[in-house]
């Protein structure tokens, strides 16, 4: 029994030590790689460096219409960001009429912000420089295949226009079909003062008519690549509404990294001091709590990296605080055990009774806090939401470690030491009785 | 230690702080951070101390009222706050001027711009979340304990929030998004602390049904005192470490957290339980 338990205890300790080593240093075996915990966590922009912008749509639209506009805007911004070549951009609709764009590690933030927020730079202009359509009239644009008169397939760029665009386009194409010279029938498609395409309307002689259904195609012997690029440019050129910059944040990559490095160090030191405190206060149980604390930190880090929670500065503060609070359940339990020992119970019974009697207290206090965490996550936005997640992860992890791991370990240790010496539990029975 | 006997003294102490805080608030208002007022914040890690006068030589051109702060080790971090909504180009211009003059790497700066609207929105959402959380916690505590416990816990919570608000307005700590984070943290911490003590009162009242309410409360607090103090110590250790080792942005958060933790502990011991005592006593009296 004793041998078996000793092996069990050593096994648990070495698993904890091994996981800690993995989390600190990472490992690479052949193809498989476990990265350092420090690198596995997604960093928020305040730590990773980068840009974030919150844009607000300037429109009176409401409900479903607003939702449609926002979805459209999001798609367009997405395309513009992709054109910048940013890896893993984060673009999200926030509230009803806002879009948050987060770009990590970007060289020229100013340019990025300008590009993202630009509205309606797309224009369709006739040869007399009249603006026929603007970007907001273009509902969609995509690559299509068309059958030519000769029965061949041709790649074209299809356009779909809104109501106002349809009307204007019908009027303009109707007028232009009457012109004799090709150059008088051209509609210039201009993006940012640059002509990206200049298709001509078919003349009446060639059988061309006014385009009245709001659907047009641009043909001209495109390759697939050329056609997709043009349609993407047309789509990206048109934000349906003006977007106003509400909040911008630019964080230099070095500052963020420095903050992160310092914070990781702070977490380590806080852990160490708390462990020393617990061991001094509670001796053997304190040692168990320290193991529990390491496991707690591992669980939290693992949960954060696998749930993809982005770590931010306030998040770190929340995390460090939760480490401080994580031992609370242990403190409650150990105080109870001490009480039981002082009442004259054997250590074995005292440990059992301590866990049992502290359980309602631990559960009730944590569930109450959990309620707060869930509400903050559910109703909060931005930083409040992030805070809620950290709180929830922290509470669940601390319950697991305190109620399951600490209990198991402590019982194991009691069975090994025989539980004869109350001093090992921070109780001086002779004096205190 | 007779907490019930001295309950009026504790209540008066707390009320005094809250009243002073509220007075200060009405006279001078909050020291709002720019995420509430709107404006621009530029942080430059200069690597060395740059005197305010020299900073002003550059910044005066853009905003004469900009506030200049130093932070970080050796005061080498420069924080420029302007309530003006500076354009991105202007921000780049300012940063470039510093970068050239003091030979600073351009990756060592950060800037933030806020519309005044953002802060209000976050604040309103936070208030709404706190309100809903409070009601749900009240329901849970009433169900697990009794309504009086729930009510007392929530009053203690309101007490903590008011003390935090008072501290912010007395010491003129900037009220920004961290303020909300701090309040939320204290909300979680304080209620946790209070419930543990209430649990003890509940248990003691079952064990000793004939004991007077006053003695019950006093004994329960006495028995959970070591635990309360030790938990506060471990939590404080964590916060103090961030305060000492952390970067400027985290320090701003750590200071009010320290105050909040102390307040949360104090209110769990000296405010929540006496309030429960009062509520309980009133009931007994009316029953008779």
| B106 within 8 A of B95, measured Cβ to Cβ | yes
Residue A384 near chain B (CB below 8 Å): yes
Cα dihedral B111, B115, B121, B126, rounded to 10, equals: 30
B181–A368 CB contact, under 8 Å: no
Strands of A327-405 (E only): list them.
Answer: none
Instruction: Tell me what the mean pLDDT of segment A358-384 comes to.
Output: 84
B200–A361 CB contact, under 8 Å: yes
3-state secondary structure chain A: CHHHHHHHHHHHHHHHHHHHHHHHHCEEECCEEECCHHHHCCECHHHHCEEEEEEEECCCCCHHHHHHHHHHHHHHHHHHHHHHCCCCCEEEEECCCEEEEEEECCCCHHHHHHHHHCCCCEEEECCCCCEEEEHHHEEEEEEEEEECCCCCEEEEEEEEECHHHHHHHHHHHHHHCCCCCHHHHECEEEECCEEEECCECCCCCCCCCCCCCCEEEECCCCCHHHHHHHHHHHHHCCCCCCEEEEEEEEECHHHHHHHHHHHHHHHHHHHHHHHHHHHHHHHHHHHHHHHHHHHHHHHHHHHHHHHCCCECHHHHHHHHHHHHHHHHHHHHHHHHHHHHHHCCCCHHHHHHHHHHHHHHHHHHHHHHHHHHHHHHHHHCCHHHHHHHHHHHHHHHHHHHHHHHHHHHHHHHHHHHHCCCCHHHHCCCHHHHC
B137–A372 CB contact, under 8 Å: yes
Q: Identify which of A54, A314, A365 has the shortest CB distance to residue B178.
A: A314
Cβ burial, residue B226 (10 Å; 0-12/13-18/19+): middle
Q: Identify which of A327, A372, A382 has the shortest CB distance to residue B191.
A: A372
Q: Which of A46, A50, A247, A392 to mutate to test the interface with B (most CBs of B within 10 A)?
A: A247
Whether the ipTM is more than 0.85: the answer is no
A365–B192 CB contact, under 8 Å: yes
Give pLDDT, residue A419.
66
Instruction: Tell me what the mean pLDDT of segment A372-400 comes to.
Output: 81
> Residue B158: which pLDDT band, with cuts at 50, 70 and 90?
very high
Give pLDDT, residue A58.
84
Q: Is the pLDDT of residue B22 over 80?
A: yes
Find the closest chain A residue to B255 by CA distance: A317
Instruction: Tell me what the mean pLDDT of segment A116-127 comes to.
Output: 73
B245–A266 CB contact, under 8 Å: yes
**Residue A136 neighbours by CB distance under 10 Å:** 18
Share of chain B above pLDDT 70, in %: 94
Contact list, B144 vs chain A (CB under 8 Å): 364
Contact list, A365 vs chain B (CB under 8 Å): 191-193, 195-196, 199
Instruction: Tell me what the mean pLDDT of segment A274-278 comes to.
Output: 94
- Of the listed ranges A339-348, B45-54, B209-218, B254-263, the one predicted with least confidence: B45-54
Give pLDDT, residue A194.
72
Give pLDDT, residue B39.
79
Give pLDDT, residue B175.
81
State whether the Cα torsion A181-A182-A188-A194 is positive or negative: negative
> Residue A433: which pLDDT band, with cuts at 50, 70 and 90?
very low
Contact list, A255 vs chain B (CB under 8 Å): 43, 45, 107-110
Q: Identify which of B105, B191, B253 has the shortest CB distance to residue A369.
A: B191
A384–B184 CB contact, under 8 Å: yes
Within 8 A by CB and 6+ apart from A239, the residues are A73, A76, A77, A118, A119, A120, A135, A136
A324–B132 CB contact, under 8 Å: no
Higher pLDDT: A166 or B69? It is A166
Residue A379 near chain B (CB below 8 Å): yes
Q: Identify which of B89, B199, B231 has the shortest CB distance to residue A328.
A: B231
Query: If you average pLDDT over each of A266-275, A381-390, B70-79, B251-260, which comes out highest?
Result: A266-275
Q: How far is A31 from chain B (nearest CA, A)?
A: 35
Laid out side by side, the sheet with B77-82 consists of: A90-94, A98-104, A50-57, A243-251, B109-114, B39-45, B77-82, B67-71
B199–A361 CB contact, under 8 Å: yes
Higher pLDDT: A69 or A240? It is A69
Maximum Cα–Cα distance for chain A, whole Å?
114
Residue B55 has which token pair? Answer: 């900073």
Give pLDDT, residue A431.
42
Give pLDDT, residue A206.
74
Give pLDDT, residue A83.
66
Residue A281 near chain B (CB below 8 Å): yes
Q: Identify which of A258, A332, A380 has the shortest CB distance to residue B227.
A: A332
Q: Is the pLDDT of residue A199 over 70?
A: yes
Higher pLDDT: B115 or B10? It is B10
Share of chain A above pLDDT 70, in %: 91
| B166 within 8 A of B15, measured Cβ to Cβ | no
Please give the interface size between A and B, counted as residue pairs whose CB atoms are below 8 Å apart.
Answer: 223
Instruction: Tell me what the mean pLDDT of segment A369-386 comes to.
Output: 80
Task: Give A128's DSSP letter.
Answer: T
> Residue B273: which pLDDT band, with cuts at 50, 70 and 90?
very high
Report CA-CA distances (Å) from A51 to A57, A382, B41.
19, 15, 14
State the helix-helix crossing angle for A313-342 and B177-207, rounded to 10 degrees. Answer: 20
Q: Is the pLDDT of residue A195 over 90?
A: no
CA distance A78 to A8: 54
Residue A272 near chain B (CB below 8 Å): no
Give pLDDT, residue B13.
93
Share of chain A above pLDDT 90, in %: 8
Q: Which of B124, B188, B196, B248 to mutate to test the interface with A (most CBs of A within 10 A)?
A: B188
> Residue B119: which pLDDT band, with cuts at 50, 70 and 90?
low
Q: Identify which of B43, B137, B238 has the shortest CB distance to residue A320.
A: B238
Q: Is the pLDDT of residue A147 over 70?
A: yes
**Bridge-based pairing state of the strands A90-94 and A27-29:** unpaired
HSE, side-chain direction, 13 A CA sphere, residue A157: 25
A254–B105 CB contact, under 8 Å: yes
B144–A364 CB contact, under 8 Å: yes
Instruction: Tell me what the mean pLDDT of segment A26-37 comes to.
Output: 76
Contact list, A54 vs chain B (CB under 8 Å): 118
State the helix-helix crossing angle for B177-207 and B213-245, rounded to 10 degrees. Answer: 150
Report CA-CA distances (Å) from A350 to A166, B203, B205, B222, B228.
83, 18, 22, 20, 21
Q: Is the pLDDT of residue B263 over 90?
A: yes
Give pLDDT, residue A295.
92
Contact list, B112 vs chain A (CB under 8 Å): 247-250
Residue B173 has which token pair? Answer: 């700590």
- Of the listed ranges A273-282, A336-345, B88-97, the one predicted with least confidence: B88-97
Q: Is the pLDDT of residue A64 over 60?
A: yes
């Amino acid at each position: 029994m004793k041998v078996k338990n000793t092996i069990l205890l050593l096994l648990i300790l070495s698993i904890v030590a091994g996981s800690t080593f993995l989390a600190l240093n990472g490992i690479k075996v052949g193809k498989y790689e476990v990265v350092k915990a420090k690198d596995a966590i997604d960093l928020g922009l305040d730590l990773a460096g980068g840009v974030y912008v919150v844009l607000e749509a300037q429109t009176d639209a409401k409900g479903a219409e607003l939702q449609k506009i926002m979805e459209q805007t999001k798609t367009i911004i997405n395309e513009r960001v992709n054109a910048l070549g940013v890896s893993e951009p984060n673009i999200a609709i926030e509230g009803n009429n806002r879009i948050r764009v987060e770009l990590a590690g970007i060289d020229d933030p100013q340019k990025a912000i300008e590009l993202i927020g630009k509205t309606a730079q797309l224009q369709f202009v006739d040869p007399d420089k009249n603006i026929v359509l603007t970007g907001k009239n273009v509902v969609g644009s995509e690559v299509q295949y068309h059958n030519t008169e000769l029965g061949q397939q041709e790649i074209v760029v299809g356009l779909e226009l809104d109501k106002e665009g349809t009307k204007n386009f019908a009027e303009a194409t109707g007028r232009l079909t009457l012109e004799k010279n090709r150059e008088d029938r051209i509609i210039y498609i201009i993006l940012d003062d640059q002509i990206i395409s200049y298709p001509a309307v078919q003349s009446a002689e060639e059988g061309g008519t006014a385009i009245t259904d709001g659907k047009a195609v641009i043909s001209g012997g495109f390759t697939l690549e050329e056609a997709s690029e043009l349609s993407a440019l047309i789509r990206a050129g048109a934000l349906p509404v003006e977007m106003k910059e509400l909040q911008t944040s630019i964080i230099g990559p070095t500052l963020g990294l420095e903050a992160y490095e310092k914070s990781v160090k702070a977490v380590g030191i806080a852990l160490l001091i708390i462990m020393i405190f617990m061991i001094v206060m509670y001796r053997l149980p304190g040692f168990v709590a320290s193991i529990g604390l390491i496991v707690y930190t591992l669980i939290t880090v693992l949960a954060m990296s696998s749930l993809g929670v982005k770590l931010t500065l306030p998040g770190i503060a929340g995390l460090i605080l939760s480490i401080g609070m994580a031992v609370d359940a242990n403190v409650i339990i150990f105080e109870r055990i001490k009480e039981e020992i002082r009442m004259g119970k054997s250590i074995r019974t005292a440990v059992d009774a301590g866990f049992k009697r502290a359980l309602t207290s631990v559960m009730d206090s944590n569930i109450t806090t959990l309620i707060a965490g869930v509400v903050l996550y559910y109703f909060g936005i931005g930083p409040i939401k992030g805070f809620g997640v950290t709180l929830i992860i922290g509470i669940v992890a601390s319950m697991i470690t305190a109620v399951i791991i600490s209990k198991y370990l402590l019982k194991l240790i009691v069975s090994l030491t025989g539980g004869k010496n109350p001093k090992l539990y921070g109780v001086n029975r002779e004096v205190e009785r | 230690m007779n907490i019930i006997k001295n309950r009026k003294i504790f209540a008066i102490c707390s009320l005094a702080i809250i009243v002073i805080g509220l007075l200060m608030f009405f006279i001078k208002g909050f020291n709002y951070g720019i995420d509430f007022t709107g404006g621009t914040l530029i942080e430059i890690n200069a690597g060395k101390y740059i005197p305010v006068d020299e900073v002003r030589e550059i910044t005066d051109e853009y905003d004469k009222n900009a506030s200049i702060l130093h932070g970080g080790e050796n005061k080498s971090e420069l924080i420029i706050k302007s309530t003006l909504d500076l354009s991105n180009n202007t921000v780049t211009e300012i940063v470039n001027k510093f970068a050239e003059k003091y030979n600073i790497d351009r990756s060592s700066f950060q800037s933030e711009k806020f519309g005044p609207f953002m802060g209000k929105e976050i604040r309103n959402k936070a208030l709404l979340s706190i309100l809903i959380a409070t009601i749900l916690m009240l329901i849970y505590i009433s169900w697990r304990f009794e309504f009086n416990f729930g009510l007392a816990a929530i009053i203690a919570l309101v007490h903590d929030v008011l003390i935090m608000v008072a501290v912010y307005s007395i010491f003129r700590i900037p009220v920004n998004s961290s303020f909300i984070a701090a309040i939320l943290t204290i909300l979680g911490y304080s209620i946790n602390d209070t419930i543990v003590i209430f649990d003890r009162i509940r248990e003691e009242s079952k064990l000793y049904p004939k004991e007077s309410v006053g003695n019950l409360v006093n004994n329960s607090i006495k028995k959970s005192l070591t635990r309360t103090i030790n938990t506060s110590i471990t939590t404080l250790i964590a916060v103090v470490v961030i305060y000492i080792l952390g970067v400027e942005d985290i320090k701003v958060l750590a200071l009010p957290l320290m105050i909040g933790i102390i307040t949360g502990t104090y209110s769990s011991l000296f405010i929540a339980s006496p309030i429960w005592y009062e509520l309980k006593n009133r009931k007994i009296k009316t029953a008779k």
